[in-house]
């Protein structure tokens, strides 16, 4: 798992609560190294600042604790994504770093080899710096990108009619682009939400809340003059690139240099050097949201009807006791609407955090 990403609700971002302390957590909770309250090893393990900390020895499980098909990531978490099995992988079926940059011939016929050595069909792969495949001209954006491959399993929970119900304020063309971007991104990220639809309902509810119903991939920060608030933080060691800003972008509002860097490595794009790649493609915008969702293991929480806990990881600023608590009601209302679109009964879990 990567560091918890500060995500916010469009016009307001607050990720790290400076000056937080153990007293802000419940008696059974730990204050993590990133100043968030919780009870699992992410909070009570390495870097824990207060509460019933367990120490660094519990945060890095030995490879044997992972399933046979899982990798132990550089941060000590089990999983099967490139973020777990790629660079820094400590155990399991790790992929050698040399294989992350395939020659153009290793890409599918309809895919481009990006300037960073990864296969894909988005403008980020086929545009500027493209090294192979059906590249677009660097000087012109008039050529259409190659059509994404249709092979591969995409979960049946991706229903366009339901998508229209959730994002009903989008025009038809935009809605279709967003939906196709989601399907392509999910296929590439090998993300198949549970068929009971609880996970996808929670995911799309958060996406709708963070992006104003998918009307924007960019945080509304210019009017408030807060776009430069995410250039650095005590918990982030990645250095901001000159002239670049790291405010919220994408389906779950990726923020701060560390998260752009980590997400970029996972999906094969240098987002730290060019953060605008996130909002330049429906596919990439969706991939960043799925990356955060997978890396922070929100799926199991959502599937267990623990919507409030997913909000706590996405945007603790909205949780009880924090300045943005009044905005949580809108997020919950959106979740209830999405559940109705999926034909799900009313949630019986804890919706608040």
Question: Within this chain, do residues 115 and 222 fall inside the same structural domain, yes or no?
Answer: no
The answer to whether position 53 is within a domain reads no
Q: Which of 100, 115, 147 is the last residue of a domain?
A: 147
3-state class of 91 per DSSP? strand
Q: In terms of C-beta density within 10 A (0-12 exposed, 13-18 middle, 19 or more buried), how is residue 275 classed? A: buried
Question: Within this chain, do residues 174 and 234 fall inside the same structural domain, yes or no?
Answer: yes
Question: Within this chain, do residues 182 and 267 fall inside the same structural domain, yes or no?
Answer: yes
The catalytic residue positions are: 210
Question: Within this chain, do residues 189 and 123 fall inside the same structural domain, yes or no?
Answer: no
Q: Please give the pLDDT value at position 196.
A: 82
Q: Please give the pLDDT value at position 71.
A: 67
Q: In terms of C-beta density within 10 A (0-12 exposed, 13-18 middle, 19 or more buried), how is residue 203 classed? A: buried
Question: Within this chain, do residues 133 and 210 fall inside the same structural domain, yes or no?
Answer: no
The answer to whether position 33 is within a domain reads no
Question: Within this chain, do residues 268 and 316 fall inside the same structural domain, yes or no?
Answer: yes
The answer to whether position 98 is within a domain reads yes
The answer to whether position 49 is within a domain reads no
Q: Which of 112, 147, 182 is the last residue of a domain?
A: 147
The answer to whether position 311 is within a domain reads yes
CB 204 within 8 A of CB 290: no
The answer to whether position 177 is within a domain reads yes
CB 109 within 8 A of CB 259: no
CATH label of the domain that carries residue 214: 1.10.530.10
Question: Within this chain, do residues 129 and 221 fall inside the same structural domain, yes or no?
Answer: no
Question: Within this chain, do residues 102 and 200 fall inside the same structural domain, yes or no?
Answer: no
Domain containing 134: what range?
68-147
Question: Within this chain, do residues 102 and 159 fall inside the same structural domain, yes or no?
Answer: no
Number of domains within the chain: 2
Q: Which of 124, 147, 170 is the last residue of a domain?
A: 147
Per-residue pLDDT of the chain (353 residues; tens, 9 = 90+): 344 444 433 333 333 333 333 345 666 666 666 566 667 666 677 767 677 777 533 333 333 456 666 666 665 656 666 666 777 777 777 764 333 333 434 577 777 777 766 666 666 667 777 888 888 764 333 333 333 333 334 557 899 999 999 999 999 999 999 999 999 999 999 999 987 899 999 999 999 999 999 999 999 988 777 787 778 888 788 899 999 999 999 999 999 999 999 999 999 999 999 999 999 999 999 999 999 999 999 999 999 999 999 999 998 889 988 888 889 999 999 999 999 999 999 999 999 99
The answer to whether position 9 is within a domain reads no
- Over residues 274-296, the pLDDT tens digits come to 999 999 999 999 999 999 999 99
Question: Within this chain, do residues 303 and 175 fall inside the same structural domain, yes or no?
Answer: yes
Q: Please give the pLDDT value at position 242.
A: 93
What torsion do the CA atoms of 168, 170, 174, 180 make, to the nearest 10 degrees? -30
Phi, psi of 216 (to 5 degrees): -140, 150
Question: Within this chain, do residues 189 and 322 fall inside the same structural domain, yes or no?
Answer: yes
Question: Within this chain, do residues 122 and 159 fall inside the same structural domain, yes or no?
Answer: no
The answer to whether position 348 is within a domain reads no
């Amino acid at each position: 798992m990567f560091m918890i990403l500060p995500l916010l609700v469009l016009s307001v971002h607050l990720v790290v609560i400076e000056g937080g302390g153990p007293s802000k957590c419940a008696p059974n909770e730990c204050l993590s190294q990133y100043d968030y309250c919780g009870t699992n090893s992410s909070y009570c393990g390495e870097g824990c600042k207060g509460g019933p900390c367990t120490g660094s020895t519990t945060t890095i499980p030995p490879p044997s604790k992972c399933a046979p098909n899982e990798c132990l990531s550089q941060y000590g978490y089990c999983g099967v994504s490139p973020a777990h099995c790629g660079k820094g992988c400590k155990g399991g079926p790790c992929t050698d770093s040399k294989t992350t940059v395939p020659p153009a011939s290793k890409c599918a016929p309809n895919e481009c080899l990006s300037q960073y050595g990864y296969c894909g069909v988005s403008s980020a792969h086929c545009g500027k710096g493209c090294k192979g495949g059906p590249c677009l001209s660097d000087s012109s954006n008039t050529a259409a990108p190659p059509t994404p491959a249709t092979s591969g399993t995409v979960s049946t929970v991706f229903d366009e009619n339901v998508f229209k119900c959730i994002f009903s304020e989008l025009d038809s063309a935009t809605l279709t682009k967003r939906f196709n971007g989601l399907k392509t991104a999910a296929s590439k990220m090998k993300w198949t939400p549970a068929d009971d639809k609880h996970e996808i309902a929670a995911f799309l509810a958060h996406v709708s809340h963070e992006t104003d119903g998918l009307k924007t991939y960019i945080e509304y920060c210019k009017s408030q003059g807060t776009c430069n608030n995410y250039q650095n933080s005590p918990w982030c060691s990645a250095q901001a690139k000159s002239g670049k800003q790291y405010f919220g972008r994408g389906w779950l509002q990726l923020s701060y240099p560390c998260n752009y860097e980590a997400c970029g490595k996972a999906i094969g794009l240098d987002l730290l050097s060019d953060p605008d790649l996130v909002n330049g493609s429906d596919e990439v915008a969706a991939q960043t949201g799925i990356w955060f969702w997978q890396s922070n293991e929100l799926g199991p929480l959502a599937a267990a009807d623990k919507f409030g806990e997913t909000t706590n990881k996405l945007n603790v600023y909205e949780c009880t006791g924090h300045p943005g608590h009044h905005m949580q009601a809108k997020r919950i209302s959106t979740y209830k609407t999405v559940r109705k679109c999926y034909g799900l009964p009313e949630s019986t879990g804890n919706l608040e955090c």
